[in-house]
Amino acid sequence: MAKTFYITTAIDYPNAEPHIGHAYQKIIADALARWHKLNGEKTFFLTGTDEHGKKIQESAEKAGKSPKEFVDEVSEKFKEAWQSLNIKPDRFIRTTDKDHEKLVQEVIKKCDKNGDIYKGIYEGLYCIGCEAYYTEKDLVNNKCPLHNRQLELLKEESFFFKLSRYQKFLLEYYKKNHEFILPKERKNEIVNRVKEGLKDLSISRTSFNWGIPFPLDKKHITYVWFDALFNYISGAGKNAELWPADLHLLGKDNGWFHTVYWPAFLKSAGYDMPKTIFIHGFLTFNGQKISKSLGNAISPKALVEKYGADSIRYFICRNFVFGEDGDFDEKALINRHNNELANKLGNLVSRVSTLAEKYGIEKTKPTLEAKNLLKRIQIYFNNYELDKSLNEIFAYIDKANEHVQAKKPWETHDNKVLYELVFAIRNIAILLWPFMPSTAEKIAQTFNFKISLDELDKPLKIAKINKSEILFKKIQ
């Protein structure tokens, strides 16, 4: 049986349209999924939208629509944004999907049967933006630390999950499973907070009605975080062998929910734990926090129209150390597009294809092999260091360009040199495919090969080569 690789992203809250901050995580996930596909693994990539909760109900009311009409419209915009960036999930899940709602209700019954759910009264400070309760010590200037907004004091009847029962289990699990929370500094933050103690968690609501009906009492709906997290299991659908997931990618605002609530819920309901939860930083845009109020929540589709999908994908994967915060700086993107994509990669493909069309290629023993390069890239992908993988690929592109300059095939008409260069270009395109699929596929079409790791360093088939289209036009 082929090895499986199941990767998920956070599912986005469709109370507003997607922006480049959302796209950051999805691009990384798509590149990782494509890499595992390239390695012959049965890969499943899940993303989607988280469509219940008070925030959605309020946004729908403001727009004069029912919550379902509202989420249908905004969810479609997320799908379109990912399509424009050539992000191809195996499923785009919506938490309003019937199979998801059914699973959530079944899970609640399992947790109840395990003695982990009881009814009580909850009073606390609630942030609608986070869909979460806060204690006073969590606040910044008496406001939500993430949304900088006043919290509501809510008091309502609620069903509770016995989260306090899982403190010991969680701390022991973190200790034994070193890869469960990455990077390590995020793990340390979580461990320290869990050591302070865990309070039981309110998992139902009665103050509004947009949510999955709570199966233990019809007056209640399910708390959005209990509902949303189980998308990772319902999203796999009939592919039950995919669970546990290999990798959950999350922004740091979602870390606590996924590393504390999620494993406790899974343990209670009798599921295995996911292998790794990777918590990454945030993107700013041209040095500013991305937000609608600042007017810089630029849609990914608008950026694709301006710069092209592959340039954005390349910039995201190369310019940031995944895990840390980063700034989507348009000047830096233009600089990388012009100097690295147009001058180095585009120019190499253009020159070699033009000369190969004119003089043909003749078989020889190539000097630009990529076996050792592949080994290094495998290590970087295993460590989620996509920037280092691209550094290695572009060092190889530099070698190919140096080879052109040294051998001067436009003067010598040496078709053995051209064979070596086409051989190198094929290796480059195969290794670039996870990052820049459209570009890699265009190169493969020009030089008559297929995108497969099996083709890396294989002798070329001699065939007619036609001059390539311009892959990257310079941005002024």
pLDDT score of 175: 97
For 146-200, how does the pLDDT look when each residue is reduced to its tens digit (9 = 90+)?
A: 666 777 777 789 999 999 999 999 999 999 999 999 999 999 999 999 999 999 9
Helix (H, G, I), strand (E, B) or coil at 447: helix
pLDDT score of 362: 93
Active site residue 292: yes
Active site residue 130: yes
Choice among 102, 109, 292, 461 that is catalytic = 292
pLDDT score of 215: 97
Q: Hey, what are 240's tokens?
A: 């039950």
Active site residue 317: no
**DSSP-assigned letters across all residues of 51-89:** --SHHHHHHHHHTTS-HHHHHHHHHHHHHHHHHHTT---
pLDDT score of 328: 87
Choice among 111, 130, 248, 388 that is catalytic = 130
Choice among 289, 363, 365, 408 that is catalytic = 289
The H or E element spanning position 475 is none
pLDDT-based confidence at residue 207 (cuts at 50, 70, 90): confident
What is the identity of the amino acid at 461?
K
Active site residue 280: no
- In this predicted structure, the answer to whether residue 122 has a pLDDT above a threshold of 70 is yes
Work out the percent of the chain whose per-residue pLDDT is above 70: 94
pLDDT score of 133: 66
Q: Which of 63, 92, 73, 66 is nearest to 17 (CA)?
A: 73
pLDDT score of 140: 67
pLDDT-based confidence at residue 326 (cuts at 50, 70, 90): confident
- Mean pLDDT across the stretch 307-312? 96
Active site residue 289: yes
Choice among 54, 55, 111, 144 that is catalytic = 144
- HSE (CB half, 13 Å, CA atoms) of 81? 29
CA-to-CA separations, 404 to 365, 370, 417, 426, in angstroms, rounded = 16, 17, 8, 15
pLDDT score of 293: 55
Rounded Cα distance, 466 and 442, in Å: 12
pLDDT score of 1: 65
Active site residue 22: yes
**DSSP-assigned letters across all residues of 120-151:** EEEEEEEETTTTEEE-GGG-BTTB-TTT--BP
Q: What's the chain's average pLDDT? A: 92
The bridge status of strand 201-202 relative to strand 132-134 is unpaired
pLDDT score of 295: 61
Work out the percent of the chain whose per-residue pLDDT is above 90: 79
Proportion of the chain in helix, strand, coil states, percent, rounded to 5: 50, 15, 35
- In this predicted structure, the answer to whether residue 12 has a pLDDT above a threshold of 90 is yes
- Mean pLDDT across the stretch 432-453? 97
For 49-98, how does the pLDDT look when each residue is reduced to its tens digit (9 = 90+)?
A: 999 988 899 889 999 999 999 999 999 999 999 999 999 999 999 999 99
Beta bridge partners of 221: 205, 213
> What's the N-to-C CA distance of the chain in angstroms?
50
Q: Which of 401, 382, 380 is nearest to 391 (CA)?
A: 380
Choice among 127, 187, 220, 267 that is catalytic = 127
Choice among 147, 252, 275, 306 that is catalytic = 147
